[in-house]
């Protein structure tokens, strides 16, 4: 047992070392000021100490940045003006720039964010149709290394990881765009109150920045989203699933998409490294999975490829005993994509087999397809400018 644990620890270190080569740019601006967004509380305390401020300021500034959403020290009205000015000389409260934004006919909105080094990633806000709330779909990387066959992002080589500030910044900038910070009357924001890490990139290949960003977002004195309102989607980076479960405890979504290794090897090439049996075993041991907190298995419906009744039966056999739901995602096409969406009939029949086995099997309504904002349609023009330094 402990040998197995040591092995997965070594594997985790290897993944982290490899992904560190795609590091985000430093938090220092060209003018020497430092971005406070993305720092842990301890790091924020250390920064404040450099200008002679005591640790108790952390709580106050944290509240302004993450609870009130201010982007300007001048707005921190509980802080005396000389200190506000001193802060503004040394620090900024950063946001990514909105390069463009588009709104779909179904009200889904896609933001193209440009970061300090000019690289770009997309974020999507998906309003709930019935309720007065919605989900923000956040990117974790610019591009992706994994090249899943059905995914538009997978056609864009990995440019780099997003930093914690850039990950939190997508959410905060989206809240800015909707004016969704607590009003002076103290009403709490509702619209942007769920996060899905389902945008560009593989979040578990950028674990440290994602973990740091989620820890900031979950902090009770700031944005204070509950871990139940955050879902991390992975294509199956098995060793990091254990760590995410233990450290973050957010909801887990797993991009399964095929129930036999031969097909999954082709659709999700990462399967060659972490095959289905290992992936399902990692789901079985994911902490906190229960009927109230089920693991979501995502299954993209590809016509004639993975949508047969035999596939559906094998799926329920594979996940037997796991508190789970199966999210059936009609394939969203993109320019040059090699697949077609399954017919409505095939999807219904597939869903019925899954439901007969006692699992809920919602069919995800495509949202924002007209602006290429639906699952798997995101991609930007960013490219690597320099070869990465060797590890
Ligand atoms: N890299 C992570 C998260 C981003 S992708 C992952 O793969 O899980 C979010 C979801 O969209 C995944 O389930 C992914 O498989 C799915 N997806 C990708 N391309 C798609 C497409 N063209 N149509 C429908 N879903 C797609
Ligand atoms: Fe990357 Fe996820 Fe797209 Fe696969 S589906 S290429 S892991 S973003």
pLDDT in tens, 208-265: 999 999 999 999 999 999 999 999 999 999 999 999 999 999 999 999 999 999 999 9
For the CA of 255, the nearest atom of ligand 2 = 5
* Residue whose CB lies within 8 A of the most ligand 2 atoms, among 150, 159, 201, for a mutation test: 201
CATH of the domain at 116: 3.20.20.70
Spell out the residues 6+ positions from residue 40 whose beta carbon is closer than 8 angstroms to its own. 212, 215, 216
- Do both 113 and 79 map to the same domain? no
Q: Is the pLDDT of residue 200 over 90?
A: yes
- Do both 273 and 204 map to the same domain? yes
- Cβ neighbour number for residue 74 with a 10 Å cutoff: 13
- Do both 122 and 26 map to the same domain? no
Q: Is the pLDDT of residue 145 over 90?
A: yes
Q: Is the pLDDT of residue 187 over 80?
A: no
- Do both 83 and 110 map to the same domain? no
Query: Torsions phi, psi of 323, nearest 5?
Result: -65, 105
- Do both 238 and 121 map to the same domain? yes
What pLDDT was estimated at residue 36? 97
pLDDT grade, residue 184 (50/70/90)? low
- What are the tens digits of pLDDT across the range 222-236? 999 999 999 999 999
Tell me the C-alpha to C-alpha distance, in Å, between residue 201 and each of 93, 233, 365, 388. Answer: 25, 10, 22, 18
In 3D space, the residue among 139, 147, 149 whose CA is nearest the CA of residue 336 turns out to be 149
Which sequence positions are flagged as catalytic?
Answer: 122, 375
Distance 78 CA to ligand 1 centre (A): 44
What pLDDT was estimated at residue 389? 47
Is 386 inside any structural domain?
no
Domain span holding position 57: 13-92
What pLDDT was estimated at residue 1? 43
Q: Give the DSSP letter string of 116-149.
A: TTS-EEEEEEEE-SSSS-EEEE--SEES-SS--T
- Do both 197 and 252 map to the same domain? yes
- Do both 109 and 42 map to the same domain? no
CATH of the domain at 68: 1.10.150.530
Q: Is the pLDDT of residue 280 over 50?
A: yes
Is 27 inside any structural domain?
yes
Distance 351 CA to ligand 2 centre (A): 23
Question: Last residue of some domain: 92, 117, 150?
Answer: 92
- Do both 283 and 237 map to the same domain? yes
Question: Last residue of some domain: 67, 92, 117?
Answer: 92
Provide, rounded to the nearest whole percent, the portion of the chain with pLDDT above 90. 79
Is 6 inside any structural domain?
no
Is 226 inside any structural domain?
yes
Please give the tally of structural domains in the chain. 2
- What are the tens digits of pLDDT across the range 67-106? 999 999 999 999 999 999 999 999 999 999 999 999 999 9
* Residue whose CB lies within 8 A of the most ligand 2 atoms, among 142, 153, 329, 378, for a mutation test: 153
Is 385 inside any structural domain?
no
Is 382 inside any structural domain?
no
Average confidence score pLDDT of the chain: 92
| Mean pLDDT value across residues 368-375 | 91
- Do both 327 and 230 map to the same domain? yes
Is 254 inside any structural domain?
yes
Determine which residue's CA is closest to atom 18 belonging to ligand 1.
376
Is 3 inside any structural domain?
no
Distance 146 CA to ligand 2 centre (A): 6
CA 103 to CA 345: how far, in whole Å? 30
Q: Is this structure's pTM higher than 0.85?
A: yes
Question: Last residue of some domain: 69, 92, 115?
Answer: 92
The DSSP element (H or E) to which 67 belongs, if any, is none
- Do both 165 and 79 map to the same domain? no
- Do both 101 and 85 map to the same domain? no
- Do both 43 and 107 map to the same domain? no
């Amino acid at each position: 047992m402990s040998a197995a644990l040591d092995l997965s620890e070594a594997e985790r270190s290897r993944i982290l070392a490899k992904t560190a080569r795609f590091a985000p740019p430093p938090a220092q601006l060209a003018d020497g000021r430092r971005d406070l967004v993305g720092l842990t509380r301890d790091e924020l305390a250390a920064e404040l100490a450099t200008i002679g401020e005591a640790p108790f300021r952390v709580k106050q500034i944290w509240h302004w940045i993450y609870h009130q959403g201010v982007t300007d020290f001048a707005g921190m009205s509980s802080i005396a003006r000389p200190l506000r000015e001193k802060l503004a000389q040394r620090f900024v409260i950063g946001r990514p720039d909105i390069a463009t934004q588009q709104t779909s006919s179904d009200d889904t909105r896609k933001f193209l964010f440009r970061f300090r080094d000019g690289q770009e990633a997309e974020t999507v806000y998906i309003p709930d149709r019935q309720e007065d709330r919605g989900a923000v779909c956040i990117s974790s990387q610019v591009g992706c290394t994994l090249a899943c066959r059905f995914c538009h992002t997978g056609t864009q080589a990995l440019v780099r990881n997003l930093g914690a500030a850039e990950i939190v910044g997508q959410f905060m900038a989206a809240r800015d765009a909707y004016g969704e910070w607590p009003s002076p009357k103290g009403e709490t924001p509702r619209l942007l109150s769920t996060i899905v890490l389902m945008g560009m990139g593989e979040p578990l290949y950028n674990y440290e920045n994602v973990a740091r960003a989620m820890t900031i977002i979950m902090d009770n004195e700031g944005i204070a989203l509950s871990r139940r309102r955050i879902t991390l989607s992975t294509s199956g980076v098995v060793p990091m699933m254990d760590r995410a479960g233990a450290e973050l405890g957010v909801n887990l979504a797993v991009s399964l998409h095929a129930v036999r290794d031969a097909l999954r090897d082709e659709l999700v090439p990462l399967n060659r490294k972490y095959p289905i049996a290992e992936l399902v075993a990692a789901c079985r041991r994911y902490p906190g999975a229960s009927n109230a907190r089920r693991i979501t298995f995502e299954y993209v419906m590809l016509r004639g490829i993975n949508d047969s009744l035999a596939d559906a039966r094998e799926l329920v056999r594979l996940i037997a005993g796991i508190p789970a739901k199966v999210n059936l995602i009609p394939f969203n096409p993109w320019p040059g994509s090699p697949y077609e969406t399954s017919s409505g009939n095939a999807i219904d029949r597939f869903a019925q087999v899954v439901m007969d086995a006692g699992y809920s099997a919602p069919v995800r309504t495509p949202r924002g397809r007209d602006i290429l904002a639906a699952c798997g349609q995101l991609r930007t023009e960013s490219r690597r400018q320099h070869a990465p330094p060797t590890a």
